[in-house]
A and B are shown apart, each in its own frame.
Chain A
Amino acid sequence: MIRITVTINGERYEREVAEHRTLLHFLRNDLGLTGTKEGCGAGECGACTIIMDGRAVNSCLVLAAEADGAELETIEGAAAGGELSAIQQAFHDNHAVQCGFCTPGMVMSATDLLRRNPNPSREEIIDGIEGNFCRCTGYQQIIEAIEAAARAAGAAAGKGSDHA
């Protein structure tokens, strides 16, 4: 066992964890943060995507031990104060959710993308979610949702003009 301290969605956690525990299982099984999903468990599907120290990663391929001292963002942090984030609202409005299993990972990848590139082209959106599988929607609604979220953020920033 090893003692780690991590900050998750702004909250500090200090826990004993098995040295071979993945970060994904630490979040889900030890902390009960089950919004992050386990799909393939091998870095292929992106359902377990979280943001670790500002970078999107597959939490199934990170050890909890490695996250000691890290700042993590998971889907549980998206709806601050119970209000959907702009990206979550756009997923809702654009029917970008079918079974919902890929959605937390998609929202985290979209969050990461729009931080790096607030006004992405369609091509850049496709690249931004290249690491996330969806087996229901065919991706169209997800891409449209991310476009809508980018537009909404642009409008909220008071510009009102369309840079695309």
Chain B
Amino acid sequence: MLHAFSYVAPRSLDELLAFLSSHGDDTRVFSGGTDLFVNIRSGLVSPQYVADLKTVPGLREISFTGQEGLSIGACATVNELLAHETVCERYPVLRIAGEELATLQLRNRATVVGNIVTASPCGDMTSPLLCLGTDVVLVSARGERRIPLGEFITGVKTTQIAADEIVSRLIVSTDRIDASGGYRKLKRIKGHDLGVVAVALVRAANTMLVAISSAAPTPVLLPEFDARTPVAEIQKSAQAAISPIDDVRCTSEYRRFMVDVYIRRLMEEVPA
């Protein structure tokens, strides 16, 4: 059972933003609801209003232009991203990581933007998007702002989003377009578990990007490496950047160990 709340189905972006201007503090905005309704059910959050982004036209689009890059609208589901030809061909790391996210039923509802806004330390889309270079576009009745993904997420489940704002879309840069990539996620059961630890690697022409999930309060992007950097150096950089904890899923020590294993494996298996 969910507590009694009001369902808001805005017919336009202006209508939604006007509503959030006055009721933002009492409202949770959602699209897939795969996190929100779990959190409401467990009593973690108890908003007075839930506002459905899906009834706002124009927020579902995934589009690509050579100038701007890849734009992923707030309501685009993970499975819609996986079915997108440009994504599969030109941003392969997004496809590989997206396939690791939850289950088919959840991917049919869960959105890429929701995975970012939830700001979980183990978000599957965050690490690959950090490697590719991604900006978050926020809109409110006050206007629009665009901030880098690494700055948008500020801690465990916290972001820079204000109560009257929504994330309208993500913009993935063209900097690492056509770069090969890989994503390795440790979990106990396919689909039914949060990641224990995960590593994303993107190899562009002369550079290499590595990001790590579930090993610090937020996913961590390592500084850009030269393509010929030895494995040991990247592992050393990773160990200095992460701060894993002991928890119900595994120990800090095991997380550190598996980060090194995955960095080595990804460097072996992702073509230069």
Asked if A90 is at the interface (CB within 8 A of a chain B CB), the reply is no
By beta carbon, the residue of chain B nearest A21 is: B2
Asked if B108 is at the interface (CB within 8 A of a chain A CB), the reply is yes
A131 touches B103 (CB 8 A): yes
A interface bracket (residues with beta carbon within 8 Å of B): 20 to 34
B5 touches A130 (CB 8 A): no
Asked if A57 is at the interface (CB within 8 A of a chain B CB), the reply is yes
Asked if B11 is at the interface (CB within 8 A of a chain A CB), the reply is no
Q: A-facing mask of B183-196, CB < 8 A → 1, else 0? A: 00000001110000
* CB-defined contacts of A58 to chain B, threshold 8 Å: 34, 105-106, 109
Q: A-facing mask of B93-124, CB < 8 A → 1, else 0? A: 00000000011111011000000000000000
Asked if B52 is at the interface (CB within 8 A of a chain A CB), the reply is yes
Asked if A75 is at the interface (CB within 8 A of a chain B CB), the reply is no
* CB-defined contacts of B54 to chain A, threshold 8 Å: 66
B7 touches A61 (CB 8 A): no
Given A66-B52, A131-B103, A57 and B5 touching (CB < 8 A)? no
Asked if B41 is at the interface (CB within 8 A of a chain A CB), the reply is yes
Query: Binding site of A, secondary structure by majority: helix, strand, loop or mixed?
Result: mixed
Q: How far is the CA of A43 from the CA of B35 in the complex (A)?
A: 9
B5 touches A61 (CB 8 A): no
Q: How far is the CA of A51 from the CA of B52 in the complex (A)?
A: 20
B9 touches A62 (CB 8 A): no
* CB-defined contacts of B192 to chain A, threshold 8 Å: 44, 133
Q: How far is the CA of A17 from the CA of B103 in the complex (A)?
A: 29
Which residues on B are within 8 Å of A, measured CB to CB? 1-7, 9, 32-34, 37-38, 41-42, 50, 52, 54, 79, 102-106, 108-109, 190-192
Which residues on A are within 8 Å of B, measured CB to CB? 2, 18-22, 25, 41-44, 46, 49, 55-58, 60-63, 65-66, 109, 112, 127-128, 130-131, 133
5 A-B contacts (beta carbon < 8 Å): A46-B105, A58-B34, A130-B104, A131-B103, A131-B106
- A sample of 18 more A-B contacts (CB under 8 A), given A41-B41, A42-B41, A62-B109, is A2-B7, A18-B4, A19-B4, A25-B1, A43-B37, A43-B38, A43-B105, A46-B103, A49-B105, A55-B79, A56-B104, A57-B108, A61-B37, A61-B109, A63-B7, A66-B52, A127-B104, A133-B192
Among all A-B residue pairs, the 7 with the closest Cβ atoms: A131-B103, A19-B7, A130-B191, A131-B105, A55-B108, A65-B7, A20-B2
